[in-house]
Chain A
Amino acid sequence: MTAVQIQARDIKWQVDDKVIVDQVSFCVNQNETLGIVGPNGAGKTSLLKCLYQEHQLSSGQITLDGRALSAYDRKAVAKKIAVVGQQHEAVFNLSVLDIVTMGLIPHKALFDRNNDQDRRAIEEALAIVDLLDKQHQVFNTLSGGEQQRCLIARAIVQRPQILIMDEPTNHLDVFYQHQILSLVKKLGLTLIMTIHDLNLAAQYCDRLLLLSAGKMLVCDTPEAVLKAEMLKQVFHLECLVDQNPLTNKMRVTYAMHNEAHIND
């Protein structure tokens, strides 16, 4: 039986009177991949930010390995959870190596210096994401896929148990979308990510959490979540859900957009 690593109980996050994440409860098991899906503005990124304490909960509780997340100090959380946010623009032309080296920060005390073991860990991470030959290149000059791989390398150096990714396939072409998701799956970490493409979500996630207007509608296997009726209710689009003959995973095909739904 796999252990529950993260558990969220009735978590709520609001800004002034506006509730962004509303009474959401779910759990994530060790080495599981959870995809958070839903339309724009559903609160997917906000929910993720609650999980790594960027947003302070208005109510509810999150536990990490059975202990309240708020009871951990910042550094202890960083040793367990790594975050790859949406695309960054680095100032001052930081190199790939500069950024990957940042992954060491949670493990270093004030007087510690980088040692050979650290340098090996950085090289290994760069080799895993295939950026070893671009380690001195400026981050901002990399392609979108390479930037994501660089941030994943930083996460690898951080040695976390859980990897949180916000829209990891945004702005990437089909090749890079699969490259990035295959790469993070191979790391063998607990993975929580927001993702727009339901077909990618079905292919790479063990379970999906469907959000709409801040509320969780369902959190279950892709087969249980990707129902045509449910998707129509959330995305306002007719769709066909069947099995992809190449992957044997669920496949969603959307009908043409009906303008009558614009004001729905």
Chain B
Amino acid sequence: MIKPLRFYPSLFVLLSLVLCSVLASMGFGTAELDFANVWQCLTDQCQRPIYQTILIDIRFPRILMGFLAGFALAAAGALMQNVTRNPLADPYLFGIVAGAGLGATISGLLPESMQAFSLPLAAFLGALFAVLIVAMVIMNNNWRRVEHLLLAGVAVSFLLSAITSFILYFGEAFASNRVIFWMMGSLARADYQALMWIIPVILVCTLLALLFSRQLDALLLSDESARTLGVNVAKLRLMSLIICAAMTAVIVSYCGGIGFVGLMIPHIVRPFIGKTTAKLLICSGIVGGCFLIWVDVVARTIVPGQEIPIGVITSVIGSLFFLFIMRRM
């Protein structure tokens, strides 16, 4: 058993790690810019105007997007694991990726004249559609059992994936490729306009979850135990579902499916920091953010001149991580 670390010193270390990761990762990319150039750009003036464009307009929003995506997915994963008391729960549990995939597929395969929505908006609407179906299914069961939530999520996820596969199978090959590539996850769509949408959603959702963290902790023992402490379990679970759905949907809409972050990061953080919601959520978010910044660096640099889908790398790392955990059990 690992002795949990003190929260505030750990938070300080993690925030320092974020700062270092952001600064260091700005030096990686196709354009050859060494750290001296980066440092000069940040502290004084760029040697060449193109450096300014590369760093401020291309790399910085992408790094910020990477951090936010990792933060949102890991925090949503931590929230879902605590709310469902299931260590295998993750933010994609409610068919969000499958729903977003369906939205993106429909949008991507329509003739251009009929593409009323951009791909991120269509993906977001698809994700909301999936969550709505899951919520309707479990509300019919009065929210009494957490298993209903998990089963409804899995069922909706498979159903929407099947519909997506069906459409892609009959779709036009080039458009299908585009959608499939999007589903593998990428931060290439990062720009300041996207961040203007993402930052407020993640900020509000995180603050809401932290505000209710005491009630969320009560769920860790059992639903009945939480009710005896005056917690309205059904409402709290619905609110958590909405928080997770909003955070995940907004990320998936812009970045596609980035698997395993929400599942893996809370597992790494929990033994070191603690199990209670507020600490776990904040620290998982920060670790998840740093993790995705570096995964994106790998995605951009491992094959010269080409970008590897970020979801492929997180899936490889995630599956190896769980095999490692299994060996230790």
Name A residues whose Cβ lies closer than 8 Å to a Cβ of B. Answer: 52-54, 74-79, 81-83, 85, 88, 90-95, 98-99, 101-106, 108, 110-111, 136, 138, 158
Contact = CB atoms under 8 A, between A and B. Distances in A.
B222 interface: yes
A77 B217 contact: no
Dominant SS among interface residues on chain B: loop
15 contacts: A74-B231, A78-B228, A88-B225, A91-B220, A92-B81, A92-B82, A92-B220, A93-B1, A93-B275, A94-B221, A99-B221, A102-B229, A105-B231, A108-B214, A158-B229
Given A88-B225, A94-B275, A106 B87 contact: no
Contacts of A104: 214
B215 A91 contact: no
B217 A102 contact: yes
Interface string B202-244: 0000000001101101101110110111111000000000000
Contact of A111 (B211, B215, B218, B231): B211
B301 interface: no
A106 B230 CA distance: 6
A145 B230 CA distance: 26
Nearest to A113: B214
A108 B275 CA distance: 20
A91 B219 CA distance: 10
Given A83-B228, A88-B222, A106-B230, A98 B276 contact: yes
A74 B227 contact: yes
A136 B5 CA distance: 12
Interface string B225-269: 101111110000000000000000000000000000000000000
Nearest to A73: B230
Contacts of A83: 225, 228
Contact of B221 (A74, A76, A90): A90
A101 B146 CA distance: 24
Nearest to B233: A74
A106 B1 CA distance: 32
B228 A92 contact: no
Contacts of A75: 230
A52 B228 contact: yes
Contacts of A92: 81-82, 85, 87, 220, 270, 275
A138 B228 CA distance: 22
A246 to B, nearest CB: 36
Contacts of B211: 110-111
Contacts of A52: 228
Given A74-B232, A94-B221, 7 more contacts: A74-B227, A85-B228, A90-B221, A91-B220, A92-B275, A93-B1, A98-B217
Contacts of A110: 211-212
A71 B217 CA distance: 26
A102 B214 CA distance: 8
